[in-house]
Amino acid sequence: MDANKASSTAYTVMQGLLWASDQPQYAPLVDADISQSIRTFLSASPEGRRRIQQVEGVISTRMLRIFEKLLAPNISVHYALRKKFFLSNVEKLIASGTRQVVNIGAGFDLLAWNLHKKYPDVKFVEIDHPSTSYEKLAIINAVSAPEANLSFLAFDLSEEGLYTALSSQDIIEPNVSTVFICEGVFMYLDEGSVINTFNDIQKFDPKAAFLFTALAPFGSSENNSTWLLRTYLRLKKEPLDWCIEPSAIGAFLTGVSFKCDAILDDDKAYLEYLSRSPETVLHKGEFMVSATSSI
């Protein structure tokens, strides 16, 4: 990670989501109010405005599509499917009694910002690397200051673990029904930091729900991204690290005392959220997992 620059991939996710929300065939994945909140958020920073302009310009958006095809085909549709997975599962968990939502490596994701006013009795916490966390907080404060039930913690998870981050301030309470989310982050951490994250979650809530994504290794039949993506991410100082085959995730979870509730790839998510089979080859590589602590 570049210690002095907000995560470029965090901007890329929001840019891809904005693009998908403007495509009639994918619009059902991103509600109009969410699409509007992305636009409002991105409009409040120079890099965000640059990203909006790229999506809106006729030539620049064509170039973005070509670039995406060369690196990771249909990754923007994947972002929209991935966001739908997290939003629908978090809302289901809140409906069944979850009272704390912790987003690890939240980037510029707006789930907590969009939900914290709707659920005033639920605490939302976002953790990210300081370079991204401070930029996000500055934007959020400029747009609409959060209520007391939304907090931001700036931490480098590869240096200080999740438990240290969360216990540094009395923001969330141990042993309260909590869902942890970690979307598009584990692939940037080493295996030790990933395992520590699972262990630290259980210290807070032995019955925690955990929604996360993981990346199938390059070269696997479950990953259709190209080598250019790895090179691009290295240039952006966000090199990839931890990868795992979808078929190995169940055993991995058992090893860290979690139970795998569901695994979703883009083909399944497309069918589930758009009620039709994909018309094109979707992204393969990052997959979504729903798990529960089983200690």
Contact footprint for ligand SAM (CB under 6 A): 1, 7, 9-10, 13, 105-107, 109, 128-129, 132, 156-158, 183-185, 188
Shortest spacing between CB 204 and ligand SAM, in angstroms = 17
Distance, in Å, from the CA atom of 253 to the CA atom of 58, rounded to the nearest integer, reads 45
Q: How far is the CB of 58 from ligand SAM (least distance, A)?
A: 26
Q: Any idea how long the chain is?
A: 295
Q: Output the smallest distance, CB 254 to ligand SAM, in A.
A: 25
DSSP secondary structure string for all residues of 105-146: T-TT--HHHHHTTT-TTSEEEEEE-HHHHHHHHHHHHHH---
List 154's β-bridge partners, or say none: 128
Q: Cα(233)–Cα(236) distance, rounded to whole angstroms?
A: 5
Closest approach, Cβ 158 to ligand SAM, in A, equals 4
Residue 292 · residue 259 · CB < 8 Å: yes
Residue type, 40: T
Measured from the CB of residue 105, what is the shortest distance to ligand SAM in angstroms? 3
Closest CB to ligand SAM among 169 and 175?
169
Determine the residue with CB nearest ligand SAM: 107
Residue among 9 and 54 whose Cβ is closer to ligand SAM: 9
Nearest to ligand SAM of 6, 256 (CB atom): 6
CA dihedral sign, ordered 53, 54, 58, 59: positive
Nearer to ligand SAM, 10 or 34 (CB): 10
Which residues make Cβ contacts (< 8 Å) with residue 271, sequence separation at least 6?
Answer: 277, 278
CA–centroid distance for 55 within its chain: 20
Toward ligand SAM, which CB reaches closer, 68 or 109? 109
Question: Based on CB atoms, which residue is closest to ligand SAM, 10 or 229?
Answer: 10
Tokens of 224: 């259709």
10 or 55, CB closer to ligand SAM? 10
**Least distance to ligand SAM from the beta carbon of 78, Å?**
11
The 8-class DSSP code of residue 216 comes to P
Q: Is 25 helix (H, G, I), strand (E, B) or coil?
A: coil
Angle of helix 8-21 relative to helix 58-71, nearest 10 degrees, comes to: 120
Token pair 């966390």 is found at 133
Helical (H) or strand (E) element with 232: helix 227-235
Q: How far is the CB of 1 from ligand SAM (least distance, A)?
A: 5
CA distances from 65 to 55, 92, 138, 223 (A): 10, 34, 30, 19
Min dist CB 277 to ligand SAM, Å, is 25
Closer to ligand SAM by CB, 203 or 236: give it.
236
